[in-house]
Amino acid sequence: MSDTAPAKSRRLHAVVRGSVQGVGFRATTFDEARRLGLAGWVRNRVDGTVEVLAEGPEPKLNLFLGYLRRGPLGARVAGVLEDWLEEQGAPIPFQVKRTE
């Protein structure tokens, strides 16, 4: 029996609050998701938050969530509302979507 079973893929839906628009949050989130090999998307929302949907191995999603809690230089993250779900087939490769 092996201890090297592949990590379970999951879906992370997150809404990032704070001073997170106009500071390169979407672009750096895109770069981080691509670096980690995640599927999904990021977009600004009209309420001033940034919304993220990402799918991939849970350990990589946890690293990604750590990034979302920090954000890029210039951002001030007040909090991240996170929801963990079963993987459902997010867009590949990771995308930047239009504001909604």
- Show which residues are catalytic: 26, 44
Distance between first and last Cα of the chain = 48
Bridge partners of 42, per DSSP, are: 52, 96
Q: How many CA atoms lie within 13 A of 47 on its CB side?
A: 7
